[in-house]
């Protein structure tokens, strides 16, 4: 079972309109609502690939009930800890020229007793997990070391961490199994500028030597850098596409890596699956969604280039 931690769930609302005009009345052409948050996106793709998953995190108010009902309707198992404050909504506004504007609420304040209830539930579930994926921001009132605490509780299970800011930095110090920062996040973690792919290669090898078994750097539509089992660094490059919605592509990538690891794939095949999942998500309107036929097709088109 892949245990997926989504502490700051959301209702993802996607608005489509002709053109977003600041300080004007904007009339929306269509609205779509979907249970979301980075971890839920990861779980959705793992589930679509046929793997057993369980989502844990917090859910509050009517929004939290909506998320629980939708997960149930999509047959995605979950054990969400109830909180008093309302779960957030996040908006993705898409105009006719393909531009996207995201508006993200900060999330509920999680009370001390709610934190304890979650930690007790998490500790109970860890022994049942094959691996753990923790994705997304922290809701308010959770300490910056919360992911670091989960890492310490994880009984040396393989732990994927995909976050940012203080939550990522503190978790990074506990040496998770996998990280996949983007180019901006890499520079914050490394505390220096990363100008070239060779800079990225040196950093990945450094992180690998320090105990992170599977460090990657996300390059967006240019793919990803990764280290194989022979300590060689590669760039995996997806085929060129015309994306419809890139929100959730990074989460779909993480899901592909998790499924590939659980199935015992070699690192290169894991990355090929991850790249194909992220690319498939970008071709769909929905967030955290893939088409299996597209994944299979793209997987065979991913190119690999060794950095020397």
DSSP 4-41: EEESS-EEEEEEEES---TTS----SEEEEEEESHHHH
For residue 187, pLDDT beyond 90: no
Cα–Cα distance for residue pair 182/102, rounded to 1 Å: 18
Q: Which residues pair with 60 in a beta bridge?
A: 83
Q: What is the rounded average pLDDT for all residues in the chain?
A: 95
Please tell me the predicted confidence (pLDDT) of residue 193.
83
User: pTM here?
Assistant: 0.94
**pLDDT-derived band at 49, boundaries 50, 70, 90:** very high
Please tell me the predicted confidence (pLDDT) of residue 39.
97
Closest to 38 (Cα-Cα) out of 85, 2, 90, 112: 90
Residue 165 structure tokens: 């800011």
Tens digits of residue pLDDT in 65-95:
999 999 999 999 999 999 999 999 999 898 8
């Amino acid at each position: 079972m892949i245990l997926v931690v989504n502490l700051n769930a959301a209702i993802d609302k996607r608005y489509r309109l002709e053109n977003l005009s600041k300080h004007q009345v904007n009339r929306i052409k269509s609205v779509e609502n979907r249970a979301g948050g980075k971890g839920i996106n990861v779980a959705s793709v793992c589930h679509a690939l046929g793997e057993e998953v369980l989502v844990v995190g917090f859910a509050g108010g009517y929004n939290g009930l909506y998320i629980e009902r939708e997960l149930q309707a999509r047959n995605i198992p979950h054990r969400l800890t109830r909180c008093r404050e309302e779960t957030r909504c996040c908006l993705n506004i898409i105009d006719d020229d393909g531009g996207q504007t995201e508006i993200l609420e900060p999330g509920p304040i999680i009370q001390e007793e709610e934190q304890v209830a979650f930690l007790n539930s998490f500790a109970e579930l860890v022994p049942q997990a094959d691996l753990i994926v923790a994705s997304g921001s922290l809701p308010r009132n959770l300490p910056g070391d919360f992911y670091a605490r989960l890492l310490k509780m994880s009984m040396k299970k393989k732990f994927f961490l995909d976050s940012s800011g203080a939550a990522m930095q503190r978790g990074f110090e506990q040496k998770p199994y996998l990280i996949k920062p983007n180019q901006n996040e890499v520079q914050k973690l490394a505390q220096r500028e990363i100008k070239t792919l060779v800079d990225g290669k040196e950093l990945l090898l450094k992180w690998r030597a320090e105990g992170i078994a599977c460090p990657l750097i996300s390059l967006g539509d240019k793919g990803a850098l990764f280290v194989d089992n022979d300590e060689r660094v590669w760039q995996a490059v997806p085929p060129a596409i015309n994306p419809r919605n890139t929100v959730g592509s990074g989460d779909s990538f993480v899901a592909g890596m998790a499924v590939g690891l659980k199935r015992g794939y070699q690192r290169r095949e894991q990355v090929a699956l991850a790249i194909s999942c992220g690319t498939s998500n970008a071709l769909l309107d929905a967030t955290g969604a893939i088409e299996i036929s597209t994944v299979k097709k793209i997987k065979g088109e991913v190119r690999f280039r060794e950095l020397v």
